A and B are shown apart, each in its own frame.
Chain A
Amino acid sequence: MSKYQELANAVIKGDTQQVKQITQQMLDAGEQPLAIINEGLIQGLNEVGIRFKEGEMFVPEMMMAAQAMKGGVELVKPLMAGTDMPTAGTVVIGTVKGDLHDIGKNLVIMMMESSGFNVVDLGVDVPVDKFIQAVKDHKPQVVGMSALLTTTMPVMKEVINALDKENLRSAVKVVIGGAPVSKEYADEIGADGYAGDAVVATEMCKQLLN
């Protein structure tokens, strides 16, 4: 088995210790940092994605794999000065004002992070101006909003209106989710996308940015 394959397998197993060990060995042996990431670590995570879709692996295993990959990336990162770390884009996300449900949002975050997005989490009960400020501060490509209560869904529209008013709307893609939210509602308030679960949410963001 090649070292790259071994590294990918360690990611699939979700074994952070082993991933770090193999990554270090490869670096010591003079392998290229970018190759370690693309052909080892990311290969492993891609395989995890496939196995998840086929029903062989479950979310907690996916999380462990993502963590293991992160362990490897951290070792490689300092050696990549000059070359840009590959990132899928920046996402600012939060649960809207009045709403404290965050389990679903947190899953979306974990899934996006493990797919290479840089995610800024604004937490729960996030007022409109905090979303706006975060867009100004972090210049994300995507703004994500979560609402689990029918009573808090209208805040999503308020955020979109405020983005409009601040001339920020065209700079970002707005995606929304949460159980009472629907594709129709997303269209109605002028959001760019809706997803019913974290896996679809991540894929949708990738598509929107292509």
Chain B
Amino acid sequence: MRYASKKGAGIAFRTLTAEQIKEIHSASCRILNEVGVIVHHDEAAELLKKAGAYTDAGGRTYLSDALVEWAIRTAPSRVTIYNRLGAPAMFLEDSNAYFGTGSDTLMYIDPAGGERRPWNREDVAAAVRLVDNLPQLDFVMSMGLLSDVDKRMIYREQYALMLKNSVKPQVIIAEDRSTVDDIFAMAAAVAGGKEKLMHQPLFALYTEPTSPLQLPFESVDKLLAAAEYKIPVNFACGALAGASTPVTVAGTVAQANAEALCGLVIHQLKNPGAPFLYGYGDSPLDMRTMQAIYAVPHALLLQGSLCDLARFYALPSWGYAGCSSSKMCDEQAVIEATMFTLMGALQGCNLMHDVFYIESGYTGSVELLVLTNEVISRVRNMLQGVDTSPEYMAVEAVKRVGPGGNFLGDEHTARHFRETWQPDLSDFNSYDAWAAAGAKSMGQRAREKARQIMATHQPVPVSAEAEQEIERILRDAEKRLCV
């Protein structure tokens, strides 16, 4: 797909000026030079030391600009992620925009009765099938935290469910390196072996620092595993502005950028040229309720800034879309999710996750997922921009029709009308036709659609051998972990 924003002309939104980008880069470098980070991982600390980073007696490690800029140059500027059938599915480069769900919400809202309850395996499988079916969703994350499996098996079981119920690429969460190993093995079983998977990644891994400026052992361990296996990986600060980062947008960007760059340096030292996704997010701390709030204007500005920085660094970008702080899929949820989705696309964020999050990530709404599918469809149509070639300028058609005529009967209309955006759920009927069809709200139609797809959609199955192998990996892990 071609996007106007990709060409830098047409519809595109830039948040920072060229000067501001450099100012932020400098501020982040100053943080790495003057404040330093704490690296809770011996191998990573050793890699940094060998590369010339300085660690003081108090255990803080300071990075030089030369090292940071080396890593930025070494990492690839484009990353391609493949689907389960081996076809390239997401080209993470320039301003291409891709969307997917979020992981690990605690509560599921059943689109049938509206009941709010913890997720079980059936729910996650059905929700993943829904993502598989929705044409505007490009990748899947685990969506729900499984309440019906042993806690030590959650991330592995989630991955097996994602693999089996969708062909789309995944972004994964894992608690530690051994989980990444098992997930990699499961993916290899469907992708045709580990070597091939290293060449054609089927999933990306989400890791993060603990802000401010700490690199916990498990995160770094996973980051190093990703470098080794060439799994595309981020090192994304989940900021709570006002608590874990400065309360201002610029301050949050400067610190989160420093943290991401520090992750990048370690990652590139481990395996120069391994694919890295640059990004982070902010759910500012609400100073009255003490909640982490999603999708507020601050968060959108932060994302615009990081997208501009990503293009400056020539790294693929990672961000958010389609999420909300609202407790239910209501007007607030739609306002917040839609603003984030539209802005993210205009900002040219490559990989946007958390579509379907409500209650700041504690609950997942398949209704919002279906609604956002429609929003993305509208947005993508807009991203194509305006074609001003002679055929589209249509002077010839205007001549043909002339003053007082009608374009409905003209060949130009017949040729191009299908290019205009077509609704899936939005209602364009007359009042009477709408009333005759049951006078349903958009929300009702979205819930019905979700239910219908979840009940009927059959994803392309994984092969019998792959399924056996996945089962074996799960049961082995269970034996190791759950004694």
Chain A residues in the interface with B (C-beta under 8 A) = 55, 58-60, 98, 100, 103-104, 106-107, 150-151, 154, 179-180, 197-198
Contact = CB atoms under 8 A, between A and B. Distances in A.
B154 interface: yes
B243 A103 contact: yes
A83 B240 CA distance: 42
Contacts of A180: 106
A121 to B, nearest CB: 15
A197 B291 CA distance: 9
B2 interface: no
Nearest to A151: B151
Query: Top 7 nearest A-B pairs by Cβ distance?
Result: A58-B287, A151-B151, A103-B243, A59-B287, A100-B210, A197-B290, A103-B240
A71 B175 CA distance: 42
A150 B290 contact: no
B37 to A, nearest CB: 15
Contacts of A104: 290
B175 A151 contact: yes
Given A60-B242, A60-B247, A150-B151, 19 more contacts: A58-B287, A59-B285, A59-B288, A59-B290, A98-B175, A100-B210, A100-B216, A103-B240, A103-B243, A103-B244, A106-B243, A107-B243, A107-B290, A150-B145, A150-B154, A151-B151, A179-B362, A197-B289, A197-B290
Contacts of A58: 287-288
A175 B151 CA distance: 23
B357 to A, nearest CB: 14
Interface of B: 106, 145, 147, 151-152, 154, 175, 210, 216, 240, 242-244, 247, 285, 287-290, 362
Taking chain B's interface residues, is the majority helix, strand, or loop, or is none over half, making it mixed?
Answer: loop
Contacts of A150: 106, 145, 147, 151, 154
B151 A154 contact: yes
Q: Which of B210, B289, B290 has the most CB of A within 10 A?
A: B290
A104 B285 CA distance: 10
A98 B151 CA distance: 12
A151 B152 contact: yes
Nearest to B362: A179
B285 A103 contact: yes
A107 B244 CA distance: 11
A60 B287 contact: yes
Nearest to B145: A150
Nearest to B107: A180
Nearest to A154: B151
Contacts of B287: 58-60
Contacts of B145: 150
Nearest to A111: B290
Nearest to A125: B216
7 contacts: A60-B247, A103-B240, A104-B290, A150-B145, A150-B154, A180-B106, A197-B289
A55 B106 CA distance: 30
B395 to A, nearest CB: 60
Contacts of A103: 240, 243-244, 285
Q: Which of A106, A151, A154 has the most CB of B within 10 A?
A: A151
A76 B242 CA distance: 31
A60 B287 CA distance: 7
Contacts of A106: 243
Contacts of A179: 106, 362
B316 to A, nearest CB: 27
A106 B242 CA distance: 13
Q: Which of B151, B216, B289 has the most CB of A within 10 A?
A: B151
